[in-house]
Chain A
Amino acid sequence: MWFRTPGGDLLLDYIPVLVHFVIVVGLTAALPALHALVGGSRPTPPKMEPYESGVWTIGSTRERVPIRYYLIAMLFILFDIETVFLFPWAVVYRRLGAFGLIEMLVFVGVLGAGLIYAWKRGALEWE
């Protein structure tokens, strides 16, 4: 995305992305289709079992997962968003100088307090 030629046509710049996208979608559609066409199908009961690395499936595969997963995902998103704010700062931090650094330190410091909180509250542990 960052290779745009100055003054060039935007759409032309994105043609590689488009080609990539078409190949990805085409391939993911073509491979199963090819398999269905030439592979044939002879189902037997063991083949219909969910594949669990050779171990028999125990219980339902649709178990409820613990809320820990949600917490981890939520923490991930929050710090993901933090990095989003780091990117534009990193691009211009030389130009912004000390002020930019202080501003970013305050930003990261506030989230650091959040990290300490999450840590001490045991949100990072898989109890």
Chain B
Amino acid sequence: MPIPIEDLWSLVPEFWLAALGLLLVLLDLFLPGDRKRLVGWAAVVGLLLVLMPILGMLGTPARTVFFNTYAVDGFAVFFKIIAVVATILVILSTMDALRGHTSFEGEMYVLLTFAALGVCLMAASADLILLALSIEFVSLSSYVMAGYFKSDLRSNEAGIKYFLFGAASSAVMIYGFSILYGLTGETNLYAIADRVRTAPQPALVLAVGMALAGLGFKVSMVPFHQWTPDVYEGAPTPVAAFLAVASKAAGFAALVRFLMVAIEPGPVDWVAPIAGLSAVSMTLGNLLALPQRNIKRMLAYSSISHAGFLLMGVAAHRGDFGAPGLLIYLLAYTFTNLGAFFVAIAVGGRLGSDEIPSYAGLAQRSAGLAAVMALFMLSLTGIPPTGGFLGKFYIFGAAVNNGLLWLAVVAVINSVVALYYYVNVIRVMYLLPAPSGGSASGPVPLRLALGVAALGTLVIGIFPQPFVTLVGAAAMLLRM
């Protein structure tokens, strides 16, 4: 079976990312210690260039390539855009955050680039083996990045904790995949879809449940969320931003493709448990976010609660709102949450503290930083005219449309609860007096990343039409 040459063209972005990663490895080796920043800039340029072939694939018809192991459709393209954009912004924000903490600066950009490739692979894998492998790909680079500051005990703890949780949930997930293979005799998602109708029931439920354990870990869905706050708090802040956005998006991509392609034709009712877990995730995440004093822990619990909202979009997948809602929510969440973490990097880098009380009087010390942070907090709450509102609007509509009214009610109550701790940050920044002088604006690359994140959050909210068209196309192509 020779490889069809024309399939290679469909993998140009992946080849490009892999080549970029290898190039960065070599570039990092031959640059002297004080010029490692260049590796980061090379990564940014390379990632910007790869956006071109990715965007060029937007309109292509959905198909699978490489013996049906790899899907080329709008859904995958959408997640590739998220992965690359998020990675560019994270690399920009990393550039000053590593100074004085590690002598492995160049390797961080290498790992981030490869992790971006892993996210792309996760979003497009149409085969259980490739899916498991790409999940490991993203996980392995994330474990190293989470424990990057070797002299920092919290970073060590983050790395170890993430590794232990990740390894255990991967094992459970792969066990589930193997049961699924035993039941259907196939590892290909589209081939499983053909066989899953006649698969014996209890074992199928078991397999799906075990697979959800691994994917739920990636998206920090309750009850697989326990690692989230400790890892986000201990990991270098840019890495936490990457985990909260790109890694989570990849988890949702894999989850949605797995459930909707392979499991949906079968007899398993997965909507009810997903809806239940969605309600539990958003509620638990919110309630635990309320008492947090550390901004990174607060954002960690908020990311658990956002996982709940996103799961609502997965549960309400039927109709015109579910899948597009999920995607537009993820897009807005990408910019908003990245922005919130970037403000944490700027403040943490200048004040050396991630505690919310040290944000007191930020409005006087650095008006711009406080303003964008306020914007991100409002978007995370879901207040118009931000992108967060558009996402919530779609997902709530989808829930009502799918007869999940109770879930929509839970989500509305949760949004009101979330208002409390998000607005608390704004209150601290604007109403409390600054304890001491000194401005807290970040270095240029970080400010650039912050600007893009703020712009993205606003533009999605104010001019939603192009984005709605984009996610409409991405969601339509999903099921081939």
Touching in the complex, A and B, CB below 8 A? yes
Which residues of A are in contact with B by a Cβ distance under 8 Å?
A: 99, 110, 113-114, 116-117, 120-121
Q: Is the interface of B mostly helix, strand, loop or mixed?
A: helix
Q: Are B2 and A113 in contact (CB under 8 A)?
A: no
Q: Can you list 16 A-B contacts with CB-CB less than 8 angstroms, sorted by A residue number?
A: A99-B2, A99-B3, A110-B18, A110-B22, A113-B22, A113-B25, A113-B26, A114-B25, A116-B25, A116-B26, A116-B29, A117-B25, A117-B26, A117-B29, A120-B29, A121-B29
Q: Mark B24-40, 1 if CB is under 8 A from A, else 0.
A: 01100100000000000
Nearest A residue to B15, CB-CB:
A106
> Complex Cα distance A114/B3, Å?
26
CB within 8 Å of A: which of B1-45?
2-3, 18, 22, 25-26, 29
Closest to B18 in A: A110
Main SS of chain A's interface residues? helix
Interface size class of B (residues with CB under 8 A): under 10
A71, chain B: closest CB distance, angstroms = 14
CA distance A117 to B110 in the complex (A): 12
Residue of B nearest to A113 (CB): B22
Chain A residues lying within 8 Å of B2, measured Cβ to Cβ, are: 99
Of all chain B residues, the one with the shortest Cβ separation from A112 is B22
For residue A55, give the distance in angstroms from its CB to the closest CB of chain B.
37
Report the Cα distance A37→B358, complex, angstroms: 75
Q: A99-B2, A113-B25, A113-B26 are in contact. List 11 more A-B contacts (CB 8 A).
A: A99-B3, A110-B18, A110-B22, A113-B22, A114-B25, A116-B25, A116-B26, A116-B29, A117-B25, A117-B29, A120-B29
Return chain B residues, CB-CB under 8 Å to A114: 25
How many angstroms from the CA of A121 to the CA of B25 in the assembled complex? 11
Closest 6 CB pairs of A and B: A120-B29, A113-B22, A117-B25, A99-B2, A113-B25, A99-B3
Residues from chain A with Cβ under 8 Å of B22 in the complex: 110, 113
In the complex, how many angstroms separate the beta carbon of B143 from the nearest chain A beta carbon?
14
Q: How far is the CA of A121 from the CA of B110 in the complex (A)?
A: 15
CB distance from B137 to the nearest CB of A (A): 13
A106's nearest neighbour on chain B, judged by CB, is B18
B residues less than 8 Å from A99 (CB atoms) = 2-3
Q: Which residues of B contact A116 (CB under 8 A)?
A: 25-26, 29
The smallest beta-carbon distance between B144 and chain A, in angstroms, is 13
In the assembled complex, the CB of B69 is this many whole angstroms from the nearest CB of chain A, namely 14
CB distance from A112 to the nearest CB of B (A): 10
Which residues of chain A are near B25, meaning CB under 8 Å?
A: 113-114, 116-117
**A120: which B residues are within 8 A, CB to CB?**
29
A27 to chain B, nearest CB (A): 37
- Considering only CB atoms, which chain B residue lies closest to A109 in the complex? B22
Q: Which residue of B lies closest to A114 (CB)?
A: B25
> Which of A110, A114, A117 has its CB near the most chain B CB atoms (within 10 A)?
A117
In the complex, what distance in Å separates the CA atom of A78 from the CA atom of B25? 18
B2 nearest CB neighbor, chain A only: A99
**Using a CB-CB cutoff of 8 Å, which residues 223-274 of chain B contact chain A?**
none
Distance of A117 Cα from B18 Cα, bound (Å): 16
- Smallest CB–CB gap between B163 and chain A, Å? 14
Q: Could you tell me the distance in whole angstroms from the C-beta of B33 to the nearest C-beta in chain A?
A: 12
A114–B26 alpha-carbon span in the complex (Å): 9
A93 shortest CB reach to chain B, Å: 14
Q: Which residues of B contact A117 (CB under 8 A)?
A: 25-26, 29
Distance between Cα atoms of A75 and B331 in the complex (Å): 39
Q: Give the residue name and chain of the B residue nearest to A121 (CB).
A: B29
Q: In the complex, what distance in Å separates the CA atom of A115 from the CA atom of B477?
A: 41
Which residues from chain A contact B3 at a C-beta distance below 8 Å?
A: 99
Q: How far is the CB of B462 from chain A (nearest CB, A)?
A: 44
- Inside 8 A of A121's CB, which chain B residues have their CB? 29
Instruction: Determine the residue in chain A with the shortest Cβ distance to B29.
Output: A120
Q: How far, in whole Å, are A114 and B29 apart by their CA atoms in the complex?
A: 11
> When chains A and B are docked, how far (Å) is the Cα of A116 from the Cα of B29?
9
Alpha-carbon distance between A86 and B132 when the two chains are bound, in angstroms: 22
A113 to B23, CA, bound (A): 9
Q: How far is the CB of B85 from chain A (nearest CB, A)?
A: 26
Query: What's the least CB distance linking A116 to chain B, in Å?
Result: 7
C-alpha spacing A113/B25, complex, angstroms: 8
- Considering the chains assembled together, what is the distance between the CA atoms of A82 and B2 in angstroms? 23
Q: What is the CA–CA distance of A85 and B25 in the complex, to the nearest angstrom?
A: 23
- In the bound complex, CA of A117 to CA of B26 (Å): 7
Interface string of B167-184 (1 = CB under 8 A from A): 000000000000000000
Shortest distance from the beta carbon of A31 to any chain B beta carbon, whole Å: 40
Alpha-carbon separation in the docked complex, A41 to B26 (Å): 62
